[in-house]
Amino acid sequence: MSEAEGPERMLRIDERLSIPLSEIVLRASRSSGPGGQHANVTASRVEASFDVLASSSLSEAQRARVRARAGDRIVAVAQDERSQLRNRELALGRLAERLARALAVPRRRRATRPTAASRARRLQDKRRAGRRKLERRPPAADGD
């Protein structure tokens, strides 16, 4: 998830991009999650937020893509565990996931033609549906 690189720690988003943890704001507060009475006195809920506009680690194209798909601020919250440290890891992981999803470039669709078998199936289904409708009709009145 996060790795030490030089004096500054980084959050790995994908194989090409890492963001310095200094660009991510972490806030701790009291959790509504597990912990019983322990949760009433400890700040174990962690909220990680990333300001897309203020980031110097994103290129202009990346910034535009993230803003279009996820907005100006990306927020991830974790309150699953009793430990603030573990919730911090979860929140950073979720933040990295959201950023990676926002940065992902969808593959272009390659146009294909229907196969001969699929065309034959479609026509067979049309014939079957037509016969079914014919059978639903009331019998024709022949010569009164």
Residue-range definition of the domain harbouring residue 23: 2-103
Please determine, for residue 43, whether its predicted confidence score (pLDDT) is greater than 90: no
Domain count, the chain: 1
Per residue in 69-112, pLDDT (tens digit) is 988 899 999 988 888 889 999 999 999 999 999 988 889 999 99
Note the pLDDT of residue 40: 64
Q: What is the percent of the chain where pLDDT is above 70?
A: 88
Asked if residue 56 is part of any domain, the answer here is yes
Asked if residue 142 is part of any domain, the answer here is no
Overall pTM surpassing 0.75 (yes/no): no
Asked if residue 66 is part of any domain, the answer here is yes
Q: For residue 138, what are the CA distances in angstroms to 5, 128, 129, 133?
A: 80, 18, 17, 11
Asked if residue 88 is part of any domain, the answer here is yes
Give the chain's radius of gyration (CA, Å).
28
CATH number reported for the structural domain that contains residue 74 in this entry? 3.30.160.20
Asked if residue 11 is part of any domain, the answer here is yes
Note the pLDDT of residue 37: 65
Instruction: Cite the DSSP H helix spans in 1-142.
Output: 38-41, 60-70, 84-103, 116-136
Asked if residue 117 is part of any domain, the answer here is no
